[in-house]
């Protein structure tokens, strides 16, 4: 699925900004569960490797940097875009 937005969803950005840099995984899991995404546990190894590479290249990775890796990972595994992504992602 290539419909994932290029810009980070607002609610994920808030979650990542509130989390410590090394705690991106919990923020992402809560966000994906809140959007009803169906993710397989065996997919996470590749995501961890990609995030480790990001943190090696950029010590101060921004939420948008994390989203670029997450978006690529979601697209690679053909995870459909959540139907309520737009509604929950809009800033107040």
SS3 annotation, 13-25: HHHHHHCCHHHHH
pTM for this model (two decimals) = 0.85
What pLDDT, on a 0 to 100 scale, did the predictor assign at position 32? 94
Residue-level pLDDT at 40:
93
* C-alpha–C-alpha distance, residues 23 and 54, integer Å: 14
As given in the structure block, the two tokens for residue 92 are 């107040």
Q: Which of 79, 91, 76 is nearest to 12 (CA)?
A: 91
Q: Mean pLDDT of successive 10-residue segments in the chain (92 residues)?
A: 84 90 88 93 94 88 93 94 68 53
**Distance (Å, rounded) from C-alpha 39 to C-alpha 74?**
9
- Output the pLDDT for position 20: 79
What pLDDT is attached to residue 11?
A: 92
User: Rounded to the nearest 5°, which phi and psi values hold at 40?
Assistant: -95, 135
């Amino acid at each position: 699925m290539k419909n994932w937005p290029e810009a980070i969803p607002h609610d994920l950005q808030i979650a990542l900004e509130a989390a410590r840099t090394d705690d991106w995984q919990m923020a992402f899991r809560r966000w994906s569960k809140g959007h009803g995404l169906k993710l397989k546990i065996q997919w996470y190894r590749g995501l961890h490797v990609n995030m480790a590479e990001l943190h090696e290249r950029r010590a101060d990775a921004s939420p948008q940097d994390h989203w670029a890796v997450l978006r690529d990972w979601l697209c690679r595994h053909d995870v459909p875009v959540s139907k309520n992504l737009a509604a929950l992602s809009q800033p107040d």
